[in-house]
Amino acid sequence: MKSDAEQLLKEKNIKITANRILVLDVFLKNTHTLSLADIELALPWADRATIFRTLKTFEEKALLHSIKDDDKSVKYALCSNTCQVNHHRIHPHFHCDICGNTVCLTGFDIPILKLPDNYKANNYSLMINGICEKCQKQ
């Protein structure tokens, strides 16, 4: 009987290790994006370099995608089934200016611009800043 994390790792052809299971579990238990520092907080005994390389591996294997918001550090989120190896991030992201959380807007499409012929577009990324539901109520 394998855990969800183990299943996912197997599906993505990532070798199963204790570290990877636990890092992935952190993502499975959270709804918003997480930075390397967030993972360090969640797994205080874990080594930063190991977490770093774990995130890189996960991104490369399309288990996570990375997001740059206005914060200083890169954040990561679980890929949806629309993410492919070497082609991530087809949905917009929302960054709350108050609490600093960033979430995936899965289910929303990034509107595609018609650019002149001299531009060849490979990837669109749309970041929306504003105030999240939680912070509006406060």
The tokens 């918003």 sit on which residue?
Answer: 32
Q: Is 79 in the site for Mn ion (CB under 5 A)?
A: no
Site residues for Mn ion, 24-53, by CB under 5 A, read none
User: At its nearest, how many Å lie between Mn ion and the CB of residue 74?
Assistant: 12
Q: Which does 29 bind (CB under 5 to 8 A by kind): DNA, Zn ion, a second copy, none?
A: none
DSSP 116: -
The CA dihedral of 54, 56, 57, 60, to the nearest 10 degrees, is 160
Q: Is 42 in the site for DNA (CB under 7 A)?
A: no
Residue closer to a second copy by CB (options 22, 127) is 127
DSSP secondary structure of 1-46: ---HHHHHHHHTT----HHHHHHHHHHHT-SS-EEHHHHHHHSTTS
Letters for 85-104 (x = contact with Zn ion by CB under 5 A, - = none) are -----------x-xx-----
Among 5, 8, 20, 94, binds DNA (CB under 7 A): 20
